[in-house]
Amino acid sequence: MEEIVVTGKSGSQAVRSISGSVTALTGAQLDALGAQSFEDYLTRTPGVVFNAGIPGLSSATIRGVSTSTSVTNGQGTTGYFINDVPMTDPFNSAGIPDIDTFDVSDVTVLRGPQGTLFGAASLGGAINYQATPPNLSGYEAHVQTTVEGTDGGGVGSSGKFMLNVPIVSDILAVRAVYSLRNDAGYIDNIGTGKKNANDTRTDGGRIELSWKPTSTTKVNYLFLDQSEDTADVGDQEPVFGSLKKNTLIAEPVDFRTTIHNLRVDQDLGFATLTGTATYHEKTSSMVIDYTAPTAALLPGISPVTERELLNTEGTTFEVRLASPLDQRFEYLVGLYHDDTREHNDDTFNAANASALIESTYGPLFGAGIGAATAPGGTFFEGVGPFRGVETAAFGEATYHFTDQWKFTLGGRAFYAKTSNSTTEEDFYELATAGVPSLTTVGGQSDRNIAPKASLTWTPSDTFMTYALVDKGFRFGGPNLSPSTKAFAIPPSFATDSLINYELGERSSWLNNRLQVDVSAFYIDWSKIQLEFESPTGFSYVTNAGKANNYGAEATVAWKVLQNLTVQTNVTYLDATLASAYDPGAGAAIIPKGSTLPGASKWQVSNSLSYWSDGLFEPDYVLSDRYISSAPGALGSGTSQGNYNIVDARATFHLKQFEVSLFVDNLFNSHGVATATQTAGLPLQEYIIRPLTGGMTLDYRF
């Protein structure tokens, strides 16, 4: 079986030698699967559920560590990184960049909290892309194009290109990647009359520049820019029929991510000194048809449009010193600082708002209230700056007692601080209380330590077992919603954290033709950040109760014949509230034992790969993925999961040229990947892409 080596903060390591639950997919493996985005490979990873919803804002849940399968107020529970550069916002997310996997070295999924090395947000785990570095010694080029059709939907296509040029042989090289992907829509919006309304365009790429001025010094610059634009959010509203929604207006969403990263590696002989400096920026724009929820407050206004604009930008600095990995005593120490600012602008608008406010509330509160509270049709606006800062010192030390036993101890001492000042202008507050605007100032801070310890026994080259305990955390933050006399919303919510206890083993059998990886874990999660809705419809977050997640994950890979490999991943998970929670305001109590959102009890994926030395050297991949049901949100009654996907792919080779024929979702399952329920709106379900077939042409030179 192939040995996979990944590059992390400690250096290059074989995946199966790491004392923790790690799954890595190489670029070649991703190509064999035809993978392009999260849903193509995360659903095949043990312990990970991908909540496919709005493209660019779809989250992954690792080991059931989540309080919602959609993006909510506050920081997420899974960290996303490219070349170790964080792409997770400290507060409201301006997008979760789904980086196209074309020309990546590998994608590594680390299950369990990664607070020691990766810091905030990696509460349940982390997903790290490693872009293929420039080749200093040779020219490379890679072109790929795909055409595909979706049952009941449209036709999609993609074009991708990579060029590697050594400017000065063995000293300076540049690698450029560009991809343009159009994913066809398959949801019909009967309100706007648009068929296949949810088509998505993913556009962007990256440039890497590597400079090796001496044999011990390497400088790398990475520029990444990617946008994801969806013409109309692709949720199904079952009340209107299968694969249909009904809104008065289209609901477009747009996301863009930009990263500039400079990295210097200096080999000092006894250790490697690495310094990184990053500028990161994300922007998002979302339009929502909010006519139904405002009908009772402003009868006759139609359509009502909510527009959410969010921008985040910041800088990240890190310096670390890592010893070689072949020493009796190994160490990694570092310093980290991130400063991110967010700006949110949320407006509600209707063309006839001023006149209707005047006619409805003018007799009660005086003439002119319509023009005063809804100029230009805008009758509510919330504008708020937010700032999140994390400063940390971190380290790990490993001591090899013998050739078989090693002990690792590490930790992250961090200071996390958030602050905000939000101004809201609301016609109803003005009419009823005479207050033209309301400013909410808040924030919180936390100083703490996230420790880690592991003990590893490796009695032979074919067996390794470990015991691990580690801690993860994420930012607290402010509640931007206003309190009322009837219901007081807490001004902020605190940092939450969890401790993960884990046992694992990795073994090889039959002369390394059979590999078995098994891990069992127990997670103790406290001060959970839970999102609720006030009686007036405002969302807020509070820390409430505890949860216990426990389960087991297993991966079995067997090379049955020289040209036939079978792999199975199985996950069992029980993730529930450890105590009941009363959200107040007359809402139903969420009982003890309630399953956490997206925490499917069973997850199974199987794949069979066969390749031949015959004409055109064909290889075939048949795969199957199953996920059991789980709630979409706490106390909402929504359900997702309980579906099975079968994919088939055949690839034919002729020197540097490849042709792939594929069918995804062979039996045309309409399984629900994410389900949400918002007050005043129909149930919204995001369906996995229906039966899709196509062809990919690939040429390398």
* Encoded tokens for 183: 């994913």
* Encoded tokens for 410: 């590490």
- Cβ-Cβ contacts under 8 Å for 655 (sequence gap 6 or more): none
Question: pLDDT tens-digit profile of 42-88?
Answer: 988 999 999 888 898 888 999 999 877 877 777 888 999 988 888 88
pLDDT-based confidence at 430, cuts 50/70/90? Answer: low
Whether pLDDT at 384 is above 60: yes
- Coil vs helix vs strand at 117: helix
pLDDT at 676: 85
Identify the structural domains of the chain with CATH numbers, from first to last.
Answer: 5-700 (2.40.170.20)
CA distance 77 to 62: 8
**Which of the pair, 351 or 459, is modelled with greater confidence?**
459
pLDDT at 225: 96
- Coil vs helix vs strand at 43: helix
- The answer to whether the predicted template modeling score (pTM) of the entire model surpasses 0.85 is yes
pLDDT at 59: 87
pLDDT at 512: 92
- Cβ-Cβ contacts under 8 Å for 30 (sequence gap 6 or more): 40, 41, 101, 104, 107
Closest among 484, 579, 659 to 34, alpha carbons compared: 659
pLDDT at 208: 97
* Encoded tokens for 21: 């639950």
Whether pLDDT at 686 is above 90: yes
CA distance 645 to 463: 33
pLDDT-based confidence at 524, cuts 50/70/90? Answer: very high
pLDDT at 543: 82
Q: What burial letters (b/e) apply to 324-355, b meaning 16+ CB within 10 Å?
A: eeeeeebbbbbebebbbbbebebbbbbeebbb
For residues 538 and 561, the answer to whether their CB atoms sit within 8 Å is no
Our measurement of the distance from residue 388's CA atom to the centroid of its chain's CA atoms, rounded to an integer in Å, reads 19
Torsional class of 34: left (φ above 0), alpha (ψ -120 to 50), beta (otherwise): left
Torsional class of 152: left (φ above 0), alpha (ψ -120 to 50), beta (otherwise): left
pLDDT-based confidence at 279, cuts 50/70/90? Answer: very high
pLDDT-based confidence at 535, cuts 50/70/90? Answer: low
What is the average per-residue pLDDT within 511-527?
95
**Which of the pair, 317 or 373, is modelled with greater confidence?**
317
pLDDT at 368: 66
Whether pLDDT at 485 is above 80: no
pLDDT at 365: 64
pLDDT-based confidence at 226, cuts 50/70/90? Answer: very high
Reported residue count of the chain is: 701
User: For residue 303, is the peptide bond before it cis, meaning its omega torsion is within 30 degrees of 0?
Assistant: yes
Residue 37 CA: distances (Å) to CA of 33, 43, 65, 129, 202: 11, 11, 22, 12, 10
What is the average per-residue pLDDT within 118-143?
92
The backbone torsions φ and ψ at residue 115, rounded to the nearest 5 degrees and listed phi first, read -60, -30
Upper half-sphere CA count for residue 668 (Cβ side, 13 Å): 10
Q: What burial letters (b/e) apply to 250-262, b meaning 16+ CB within 10 Å?
A: bbebbbbbbbbbe
pLDDT at 658: 95
CA distance 304 to 377: 10
CA distance 506 to 512: 12
CA distance 195 to 174: 43
Whether pLDDT at 635 is above 90: no
pLDDT at 404: 95
CA distance 414 to 220: 28
CA distance 43 to 62: 11
pLDDT at 475: 83
What is the average per-residue pLDDT within 463-474?
94
Whether pLDDT at 425 is above 70: no
What is the average per-residue pLDDT within 317-334?
94
Spell out the alpha helix ranges (H) of 87-169. Answer: 115-118
pLDDT at 487: 66
CA distance 202 to 158: 9
What is the average per-residue pLDDT within 350-355?
76
For residues 147 and 183, the answer to whether their CB atoms sit within 8 Å is no
For residues 34 and 619, the answer to whether their CB atoms sit within 8 Å is no
**Which of the pair, 121 or 124, is modelled with greater confidence?**
124
Closest among 402, 353, 418 to 75, alpha carbons compared: 418
pLDDT at 584: 62
In whole numbers, what is the pLDDT of the chain averaged over residues?
88
Amino acid at 624: D
**Which of the pair, 261 or 1, is modelled with greater confidence?**
261
- Cβ-Cβ contacts under 8 Å for 568 (sequence gap 6 or more): 554, 555, 556, 604, 605, 606
Q: What burial letters (b/e) apply to 182-196, b meaning 16+ CB within 10 Å?
A: bbbbbbbbebbebeb
For residues 244 and 236, the answer to whether their CB atoms sit within 8 Å is yes
Whether pLDDT at 195 is above 70: yes
Question: pLDDT tens-digit profile of 294-312?
Answer: 777 777 778 888 889 999 9
The backbone torsions φ and ψ at residue 585, rounded to the nearest 5 degrees and listed phi first, read 55, 30
pLDDT at 536: 57
pLDDT at 369: 66
**Which of the pair, 588 or 235, is modelled with greater confidence?**
235
CA distance 7 to 128: 10
For residues 519 and 21, the answer to whether their CB atoms sit within 8 Å is yes
Residue 428 burial (C-beta neighbours within 10 Å; 0-12, 13-18, 19+): middle
CA distance 221 to 314: 17
CA distance 78 to 100: 18
What is the average per-residue pLDDT within 322-343?
93
- Cβ-Cβ contacts under 8 Å for 22 (sequence gap 6 or more): 6, 15, 108, 109, 110, 111
For residues 613 and 643, the answer to whether their CB atoms sit within 8 Å is no
What residues does 225 pair with on adjacent strands?
205, 258
Q: What is the largest CA-CA distance in the chain?
A: 87
Residue 587 CA: distances (Å) to CA of 200, 257, 636: 37, 38, 11
What is the average per-residue pLDDT within 669-696?
90
- Express as a percent the part of the chain with pLDDT over 70: 92
CA distance 226 to 9: 25
**Which of the pair, 442 or 415, is modelled with greater confidence?**
415
DSSP secondary structure code for residue 298 in this structure:
S
For residues 623 and 664, the answer to whether their CB atoms sit within 8 Å is no
